[in-house]
Structure 1
């Protein structure tokens, strides 16, 4: 079996997945919620009964703070958990009527962040500098 060298490695793929997934989540969901806080607060669903304010705060944490941590590869596996939870709640409780086609963005984000949760951040991350080499 030939060893992969150069930019074509699983670590480079994880870096790409981390940055692309985080950027999409931030751009499409996190930043619009942050920039339009009051409007979002007026119509956000509250499927877990925590109150709209706390629900929105949790969504902002999962859609802004966590993607930034994932992008740089800091506490990566831990940072994917709120994102995955938010996506599952959104897809299964908030929008259960959506077809696969209607919810494809959410399902694809679940795949990206689920893969990162299972695989870790890879070599090109802050996490890799904080843990001893295997």
Structure 2
């Protein structure tokens, strides 16, 4: 007996909402200001591992601009979440270890959003998704 699994549409809507809002927040608050004020950001970006401001800033831009654009359209979502998670963990654990939960709540919430997307994936509401695809589980 074969069991068909079809994800309810509300789960796809929820994953899309999580992708959309999480990416827009990350882009608006962190990513785009780094691009629009690149020179200024170079002068005060934290460099917790001594790699230099260019490497630190470019790493942040990849994680906070390029990766959210992939996630927004649902392409390589799980993979694109990894640099974001890494940058958030570095920020919360190495750059701002003295912050209370209240002071770091935005960072922790972004970490929750992108870790959830890394676990769950993008859902079916994404560019290039086939609406008629079903996943089969069980033995025939």
TM-score (normalised: structure 2): 0.86
Tell me by how many angstroms 1:128 deviates: 3.5
Q: Distance in 2 between matches of 1:4 and 1:119?
A: 12
Of Structure 1 and Structure 2, the greater strand share is in 2
Determine helix, strand or coil for the equivalent of 1:38: helix
Of Structure 1 and Structure 2, the greater helix share is in 1
Structure 1 residues 101 and 125 mapped into 2: Cα distance closer, same or farther (>3 Å)?
Answer: same
- Aligned position for 2:124: 123
Q: Distance in 2 between matches of 1:50 and 1:63?
A: 18
- Aligned position for 2:79: 78
Structure 1's consecutive aligned runs of 4 or more residues displaced over 6 angstroms after TM superposition are none
TM-score (normalised: structure 1): 0.90
Structure 1 unaligned spans of 5+: none
- Aligned position for 2:96: 95
- 1:113 has 2:114 as partner: yes
TM-align CA RMSD: 1.7
1:121·1:128 contact (CA, 8 Å) conserved in 2?
Answer: no
1:70·1:76 contact (CA, 8 Å) conserved in 2?
Answer: yes
Q: Distance in 2 between matches of 1:50 and 1:127?
A: 38
Structure 2 unaligned spans of 5+: 1-5, 136-140
- Aligned position for 1:38: 39
